[in-house]
């Protein structure tokens, strides 16, 4: 919700690039909730895998909200894609924004070490992806209890 507020402070129209896939009722409800928060002026682009391509297709100058990197990474990992190459490709596109771009991700490394290999692999990959994206971002915010903390 905070990212949506930041994006709508820019002049619209706005593009929402969604990475979620609705495999069950609970995720369909989450997606519906997100859509209900957005009013007129939003274009939604579903990009569960080709996030770099979706960004390339956005018109110059248009504000973009990407939600979210960790779901996008999950999609690639579960499909057994070369997610490391995709992460580098995405970071390269994000390093050359053609408008105000806002990226949502999750910090998953602050808890206990997961008990299985896939979860540990995901946690490590998400950490590396967040570092790559933060390195090319102009501003990085960490949300804690609904409050934005400026990291960069």
- Asked whether residue 139 is marked as a ligand-binding residue, the answer is no
Give the total number of structural domains in the chain.
1
2 is a catalytic site residue: no
- Asked whether residue 38 is marked as a ligand-binding residue, the answer is yes
CATH number at residue 123: 3.40.50.300
pLDDT for 105 equals 98
| Residue 117 belongs to domain spanning | 1-150
Encode pLDDT of 55-98 as tens digits. 999 999 999 999 999 999 999 999 999 999 999 999 999 999 99
Mean predicted confidence (pLDDT) in 40-64: 96
- Asked whether residue 85 is marked as a ligand-binding residue, the answer is no
Contacts of 61 (CB under 8 A, 6+ apart): 98, 99
- Asked whether residue 67 is marked as a ligand-binding residue, the answer is yes
Mean predicted confidence (pLDDT) in 93-104: 96
Contact (CB, 8 A) for 122 and 108: yes
pTM summary value: 0.93
pLDDT at residue 39 is higher than 90: no
pLDDT at residue 37 is higher than 90: no
Catalytic hit among 2, 34, 76, 81: 34
């Amino acid at each position: 919700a905070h990212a949506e507020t930041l994006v709508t402070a820019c002049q619209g129209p706005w593009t929402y690039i969604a990475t979620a896939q609705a495999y069950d009722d609970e995720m369909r409800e989450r997606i519906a909730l997100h859509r209900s928060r957005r009013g007129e002026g939003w274009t939604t682009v579903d990009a569960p895998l080709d996030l770099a391509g979706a960004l390339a297709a956005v018109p110059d100058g248009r504000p973009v909200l990407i939600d979210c990197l960790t779901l996008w990474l999950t999609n690639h990992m579960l499909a057994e894609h070369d997610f490391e190459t995709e992460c580098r490709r995405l970071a390269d596109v994000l390093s050359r924004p053609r408008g105000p771009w806002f990226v949502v991700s999750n910090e998953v490394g602050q808890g206990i070490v997961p008990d299985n290999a896939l979860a540990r692999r995901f946690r490590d990959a998400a950490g590396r992806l967040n570092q790559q994206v933060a390195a090319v971002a102009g501003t990085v915010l960490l949300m804690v209890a609904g409050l934005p903390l400026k990291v960069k």
